[in-house]
A and B are shown apart, each in its own frame.
Chain A
Amino acid sequence: MAKTIQEINEKIKKGKAVVVTAEEIIGIVEQKGAAQAAKEVDVVTTGTFGPMCSSGAYLNFGHTRPKLKAGGGTATLNNVPAYTGWAAVDLYLGATAMPDDDPRNKIHPGEFAYGGGHVINDLVAGKDVRLQVEAYGTDCYPRKHLDTWINIKDLNEAVLFNSRNAYQNYNVAVNLSDKTIYTYLGTLKPKLGNANYCSAGQLSPLLNDPYYKTLGIGTRIWLGGGIGYIVWQGTQHNPHAPRGKSGVPKRGAGTLALIGDLKQMGPDWLKGVSLIGYGPSMAVGIGIPIPILNEEIVKYTAVKDEDIVAAVVDYSDAYPNAKADVLAEVNYAQLKSGSIELKGKQVPTSGLSSYKKALQIAEDLKTQIKQGEFLLTEKVADLPAGESAPRFKPLKERPVKEGK
């Protein structure tokens, strides 16, 4: 007995929708079977919260008197450079941007105490942020310097726009070398000293809809504590990754490009993070509702940590040198147990993605839907899937010879 999103929305409006989290649906399907669960449950909510480097925000800070054109000049927010190559007073600030005078890794491993993600967090927290612009001046935009405090409430627009978020599965990073390494998956101790993973597993949005059957372009989502939308597939979207049981990818696969009004979001859900030796980034909170349209969809959402397999990759050699070597495959139940066995050794595990926060997001979205505050949307176009989808490929380098 299939349902439509329209029917589910009618139930939501009447406060009668049955909404459960992607964790709760596991037990329901186990106890009652998929057919009954599909009848009873209307929506399953997912969640994820972790560092997502391909995130950022664009801002329109309003015209000055006389007018100024930031494009072609430089702009910083709290000393962190923002991209100016747009019209006069639009800026884009990326999560991994950092001050020009940050020493980077000159003293390895670098601290990266403050970057784009931290600026976005300060903006969202309602703090004043210092904007400095150096422009070259034109007849229509004569002003050349600007040094002012700005506040998110005064901006014309502040929009979170992330080109790649919510990775459908991810590598588990280890270090086979004999010295500590510092990666975007955290500090990795030598000789398999630890193993770091970064996925909400059974709560993760794209792992609950592995073939993107319900979610797609136009889907309304929970983003950074406010409302957002899926605008496109994320960069590096790769539905061709090898898949296991129930079609769940065993490697990084699908990704999402997301957008939402930064002014509606909260500082607890867009957190600046400092990845030692790597750089600044931003932890982003995302929740996506999955409408339970039929038995097939409910089966996908019942995926559990034991069924989700990830690849263990050596970040001292295989990853930086782009070798395809996979040391082992482990599942998220093993990863979340605290240690995994690799090469006969018990290796302690750590998450970079917060399962606790992911759970809070899934619960919050559940509450909003139950209270009729959050309606589901039909997607307006599919995310690429199947054989015709583009493949994620490395750069075909064509070295430039001097003098040519």
Chain B
Amino acid sequence: MSAKKIVLTFPKDKIDKPIVYKLIKEFDLSFNILKASITPDQEGHMVLELDGDKAEIDKAIKHLKDEGVNVEFLSKEIKVNWDKCTQCGACVSICPTEALYIKDRQTMEVAFDPEKCIACELCIRPCPPRAIEVHF
């Protein structure tokens, strides 16, 4: 078993075609949609976390590419520089996946769970001491 986070970009003409369901049906994968946005007459974006047999994941990715979907692996990593962090919590209500959260409501300590992070980068600029960093 293996897990992988991928970013899919659907071209305009593929938005109305059923593509992603095949990941379950044909490749026996399970997936978690971390983020999805489709605007009419524009591109569609989706961030998926795929779970399943490694060989099947590779086949599934080939299938997506054959269908004309652009596939990128989520290789960016978000890190909090705790020396810079002032523990204010401004990031917490910005983070869409609760990867940045208040660990202890008594002390209001801010914490980061990289497992939940989808590297959307929404937190980067709202952080007043700019303590959140993107690593490639």
A residues whose Cβ falls under 8 Å from a Cβ of B: 49-51, 109, 111, 113, 186-187, 189, 193-196, 271-276, 281, 283, 336-338, 348-357, 359
Bound together, the chains give a CA A129 to CA B86 distance in angstroms of 23
- A354/B92 in contact, CB under 8 A: no
Instruction: Let me know if A336 and B94 touch, CB within 8 A.
Output: no
CB distance from A279 to the nearest CB of B (A): 11
Given A109-B125, A113-B130, A338-B102, are A353 and B94 neighbors across the interface (CB < 8 Å)? no
Contact with A along B102-129 (1 / 0, CB 8 A): 1001011110000000000000011011
Known A283-B86, A337-B105, A338-B102; judge A274-B93 contact (CB<8 A): no
Q: Are B126 and A187 interface neighbours, CB within 8 A?
A: yes
User: A281 to B88, alpha carbons, bound, how many Å?
Assistant: 14
Interface: B48 (CB within 8 A): no
Instruction: Determine which residue in B87, B109, B128, B130 has the highest number of CB atoms from chain A within 10 A of its CB, and name it.
Output: B128
B108 CB contacts on chain A under 8 angstroms = 336, 351, 354-356
Q: Give the nearest-CB partner of A348 in chain B.
A: B93
A92 to chain B, nearest CB (A): 23
Which chain B residues border A195 with CB–CB below 8 Å? 93
Please, how many angstroms separate the alpha-carbon atoms of A354 and B102 in the complex? 12
User: Known contacts A186-B126, A276-B126: does B107 contact A359 (CB below 8 Å)?
Assistant: yes
CB-contact partner of A350 in B86, B91, B107, B109, under 8 A: B91
Q: How far is the CB of B98 from chain A (nearest CB, A)?
A: 9
* Dominant secondary structure of chain B at its interface with chain A: loop
Given contacts A351-B108, A354-B87, A357-B86, whether A275 and B128 have CB atoms under 8 Å apart is yes
Q: List 8 A-B contacts (CB under 8 A).
A: A186-B128, A187-B94, A189-B94, A275-B128, A283-B128, A350-B88, A351-B89, A353-B88
Complex Cα gap A196–B89 (Å): 9
Given contacts A187-B90, A274-B128, 6 further A-B contacts (CB under 8 A): A109-B125, A350-B90, A351-B88, A352-B90, A355-B107, A356-B109
Residues of chain A contacted by B92 (CB below 8 angstroms): 338, 348, 350
Given A189-B94, A194-B94, A350 contacting B128 (CB threshold 8 A) = no
Q: How far is the CB of A374 from chain B (nearest CB, A)?
A: 23
Contacts of A336 in B (CB 8 A): 105, 108
Please give me the residue from chain B that is nearest to A333 by CB atom.
Answer: B105
**Residue picked from A49, A51, A186, most chain B C-beta under 10 Å:** A186
Bound complex: CA of A349 vs CA of B108, how far in Å?
12
Given contacts A283-B129, A352-B128, contact A186 B86 (CB under 8 A): no
